[in-house]
Amino acid sequence: MQQNELNRQLSRIQAKLTGIDRKAGNRVFLSCEAENVYAVCRFLFSELGLRFVISTGIDATDCFEVLHHFSNDESGCVVTVKAFVRNRESPELDSITPLIPGAEWIEREMHDLLGITFRNHPNLERLILADDWPEGVYPLRKEVQT
């Protein structure tokens, strides 16, 4: 899919988004609320056939951000879905692993390191943290000092 076509297709999902931000030519950031993340990722992965790259979990102090990065290899464009998880007490959003098995590890990792729960994840076991790591301590949160 060429870049023009990608841009045209992305406007189809606009109703689920809170913003489309284009940067540096071939970087697109799609912002959405946590409840829409599955629908947006399904559109990118299943309908547009973009390749899943990885996800980034961020402790943005007032909320959590979960970024799912996709790549449209034909135009070299990285499309990032930026989901805002507003509930800091019990951060939760839908897992995309049922759709993309390649996301299993990174969602488990974000669960370990940031304490974000992924609904419908098939196996939300520990991946990064040791078995004897204390419950409720999430090393990538900003309050944890290095």
Partner 1 sequence: MKESQRKSVLAVGPFHPLQEEMEFFQLTVDGEKVTDVNVRLSYNHRGIEKLSETLQFDQVPYLVSRVCGICSASHPLAYVQAVEEIAGVKPPDRALYVRTIINELERIHSHLLWVGLGGHFIGYDTVFMWAWKYREPVLDLLEEITGNRNNYGNVKVGGCREDIPDELIPKINQELDVIEKKTEMLTKAVLDDPVLHARLKGVGILKKDDAIKYAVTGPTARGSGIAIDVRRDDPYAAYADLDWKVISQPEGDVFAKAVVRLLETFESIKMVRQALARLPKGPVAVDVKEIPPGEGCGHAEAPRGETFHYVRSDGGNRPVRHKIRAPSYVNVPSFKASCIGADIADVTLTLAAVDPCYSCTERIAVVDGHNAVVHDYEELLRLSREKTALIKKEIGAPEMKLEGC
Catalog residues that contact partner 1 under the rule CB under 8 A.
Answer: 23-24, 26-27, 29, 51-54, 56, 58, 67, 69, 71, 73-78, 80, 100-106, 127-129, 139-140, 146
At 137, is the secondary structure helix, strand, or coil? coil
Q: Give min distance, CB of 94 to partner 1, in A.
A: 18
CB of 66 to partner 1, least distance (A): 11
Nearer to partner 1, 19 or 76 (CB): 76
Closer to partner 1 by CB, 17 or 67: give it.
67
CB of 35 to partner 1, least distance (A): 23
Cβ closest to partner 1, residue 15 vs residue 130: 130
Looking at the Cβ atoms of 39 and 78, the one nearer to partner 1 is 78
Residue 93 or 106 having the CB closest to partner 1? 106
Residues 6+ apart with CB under 8 A from 20: 10, 11, 14, 28, 29, 30, 31
Least distance to partner 1, CB of residue 54, Å = 4
- Single-letter amino acid, residue 126: R
Q: Please, which residues have CB within 8 angstroms of residue 143's CB and are 6 or more apart in sequence?
A: none
Q: Are 48 and 72 in contact (CB under 8 A)?
A: yes
Q: How far apart are CA 76 and CA 93, in angstroms?
A: 28
The least CB distance from residue 52 to partner 1, in Å, is: 4
Strand order in the sheet with 27-33: 19-23, 27-33, 77-85, 64-72, 51-59
